[in-house]
A and B are shown apart, each in its own frame.
Chain A
Amino acid sequence: MAEAGRAANTVLLRRLLLVVLLMFGFAWGLIPLYRVICEVSGLNRVVAADRLADDGSTTAAVRPVQLVLDTMVQPGLPWQVLPPARQLQVRTGQFIQLQYTLRNNSRQAVVGQAIPHYLPAEAAAYVKKLECFCFRQQVFQPGETRHFPVVLVIDRRLPAEIGSITLSYSVFDVPGQGEGRP
């Protein structure tokens, strides 16, 4: 009786430990799972090229928009990122070409990745980037300066209440790909 009870306890113990292991694995499984969800649902597509489609975006009226350009570098990183201007007056539907200057101020080769974000956040869906240095990681030799074109179109269906869009690039180092810290 006591032996049988002990055996039953051990069986249940093993099953519960299995649940513990599965749930630990599940935590790691959430990483690819979220990636798949983001890809399928199109969320979080900030560093991929957009396409212009003939989906009615050409019928809406063209109107002026203020474009504010902002750049940020994570503290301690050797990058310098210069936008072509602080503010631009542009129009929706216009092909906008911007020349960004990126410089590596350190004596080491560095690998960086720029991540764009937008204010207001709902403007993100209307800014179509056709060319951007943020689409891939950029390798910079010591002291190297390079110019990158950014080409974008603001969808003509941009809601009327958005009169100004801030486009901000944050540059991060890519750990393990180069000496990030000076």
Chain B
Amino acid sequence: MVMAHTADPQPVVHKPHGWRRWLFATNHKDIGTLYLWFAFCMFLVGGVLALCIRTELFRPGLQFFQPALFNQLTTLHGLIMVFGAIMPAFTGLANWMLPLMLGAPDMAFARMNNWSFWLLPPAMALLLLSFLVPGGAAATGWTLYAPLSVQLGMGMDLTIFAIHILGVSSIMGAINIVVTIINLRAPGMPMMRMPMFAWASLITAYLIIAVMPVLAGAVTMVLTDRHFGTHFFNAAGGGDPILYQHVFWFFGHPEVYIMALPAFGIVSQVIPTFARKPLFGYTSMVYATSSIGVLSFMVWAHHMFVTGMPATAQLFFMYATMLIAVPTGVKVFNWIATMWEGSMSFETPMLFAIGFILLFTIGGLSGVTLSVAAVDVQLHGSYYVVAHFHYVLVAGALFSLFAAVYYWFPKMTGRMYGERLGKLHFWWSLLWFNVTFFPMHFLGLAGMPRRIPDYALQFTTFNQIASVGAFMFGLGQLIFLFNILHSLRHGKTAPQQPWEGANTLEWRLPTPAPYHSFHEAPELETAENGVVLDMRGGKHG
């Protein structure tokens, strides 16, 4: 800084090649790319498990999988999708985009960033390996409820260790995100003007830091109950299996928002771009996101209405849960108000964002239905719950991830994705998603329990519809894979500004984003939601 350069020197671009570039990756873009590809692979693995489940459920009776294996399939499908696909995908996007959106040279702790990614493959390997050990994988459902999780075979131990490693990984990733956002914003990018995606990532990261250790504690207790003679969850030894549910859901409910808030952030970037209007109610969006984060710690027992809680506790958790609908509603109305009288165009990211709003709202409303303690007693553990959380996780988190990948693909790769294929992917996914999951509402209302390989005959038709939908939905994801792979090589060269309405900082960078961006921080003049009015300086390698 002090030295005066006579000529502007070309910065040394250090870009390792071959496998070293990835194994020793410290560049936030490389790590982001690794995260995204890893998440997509895990999405396919988890998807194959889901298709196995749907194959078995195509007809009543047992055809392909015995109940023990079926339970392993549902468990691993849940664990892999939550910890292997959705969470890493959001972390990957945060890695890729946060430094670009905030004007930072890289993430705060580049080496830790490398570790937080490279812990994921061994953890997932442990999970998948558990299928092969005697007794098979964990068969408890993703919640790993005691006392079943205390009784199962060694696959459960592998699962517990996998969760420990995943916890360490996501905590390190979250710490990196918090420090980057708090400390590395460029001058002129105050907190109350930074992009909603950064706000959502920040609050998500705080949630991860707060609750992943609680999950680690819960599974450690299961481990000591299994092997070291404790009885935290053993009724005879003075423990209580219900206690496990309390500790688990103290983690589990914030976890739900860990998978939802980044989606809100993405949609809050995409909608203003394609509506060509600033985000409506930015400040209220920030406060809504924060209050969802805070409230998420106070509602956990709504997952436990049938455990025999006192009525007062049921009422408290019921009303607290309903309260979350308020900030969520604020966000939905703000997105709609952003689109109102906007000059909208419907490129693929926008389609996915609008699909997100539509379907996430359905999922949110079925959530409010489930929050009513009296109704939940009927619906608890039924397919209605399965329908509900797939509306918020598939049509919510996953659709927002597709929106994000299409939205930022030109900036990441320098090429445009195929728009026609992208639109086909959207309409295909929208149709078959609903064919798959909408009938599950009816199945649940009619009383079909979740996590069973066999069912009463009257549920056959809806199950067959759902199974056909699931296979078509899965097939549609190959359109996405093909589009990405094809566009990486043959896509049209993308301009610096592929979206007319995009005005956040990442679009001020050349396309594709240079390997080392902002190694000198830019001076910014910003408006709300990270809109850059003016930028001076800021050098790239």
> Which positions in A face B, CB cutoff 8 Å?
1, 5, 8-9, 12-13, 16-17, 19-21, 23-24, 26-28, 30-31, 34, 41, 43-44, 112-113, 115, 121, 137, 170-176
Contact = CB atoms under 8 A, between A and B. Distances in A.
Nearest to B242: A44
B3 interface: no
Contacts of A115: 235-236
Contacts of A31: 221, 232, 243
A27 B247 contact: yes
A77 to B, nearest CB: 10
Given A30-B247, A115-B236, A172-B234, A121 B308 contact: yes
20 contacts: A1-B1, A5-B183, A9-B183, A12-B179, A19-B209, A23-B210, A26-B213, A27-B214, A27-B215, A27-B221, A30-B214, A30-B243, A30-B247, A34-B243, A34-B246, A43-B310, A113-B235, A170-B235, A175-B236, A175-B237
Interface string B219-241: 00100000001011011110010
A44 B240 contact: yes
B250 interface: yes
Contact of B175 (A5, A16, A121, A174): A16
B476 interface: no
Nearest to A41: B310
A20 B209 contact: yes
Closest 6 CB pairs of A and B: A27-B217, A172-B236, A24-B213, A113-B236, A23-B213, A176-B229
Contacts of B34: none
Contacts of A19: 209-210
B218 interface: yes
Given A19-B209, A28-B217, A12 B236 contact: no
Interface in B1-27: 1
Best-buried of A8, A173, A175 by chain B (most CB within 10 Å)? A175
Contacts of A12: 178-179, 182-183
Given A31-B243, A113-B235, A176-B229, 15 more contacts: A1-B1, A5-B184, A9-B109, A23-B214, A27-B213, A27-B218, A27-B221, A27-B250, A30-B246, A30-B250, A137-B236, A171-B236, A172-B234, A174-B231, A176-B237
Interface of B: 1, 108-109, 171, 175, 178-179, 182-184, 209-218, 221, 229, 231-232, 234-237, 240, 243, 246-247, 250, 308, 310
B182 A23 contact: no
Contacts, number: 91
Contacts of A9: 108-109, 179, 183
Given A16-B209, A19-B209, A121-B308, A24 B217 contact: yes
B182 A24 contact: no
Contact of A23 (B175, B184, B209, B221): B209
A30 B184 CA distance: 36
Contacts of A24: 213-214, 216-217
A17 B175 contact: yes
Contacts of B236: 112-113, 115, 137, 171-175
A22 B272 CA distance: 39
A66 to B, nearest CB: 22
A30 B247 CA distance: 7
A58 to B, nearest CB: 26
A171 B235 CA distance: 10
A23 B211 contact: yes
Contact of A13 (B1, B179, B212, B247): B179
A35 to B, nearest CB: 9
Contacts of B182: 12
B231 A13 contact: no
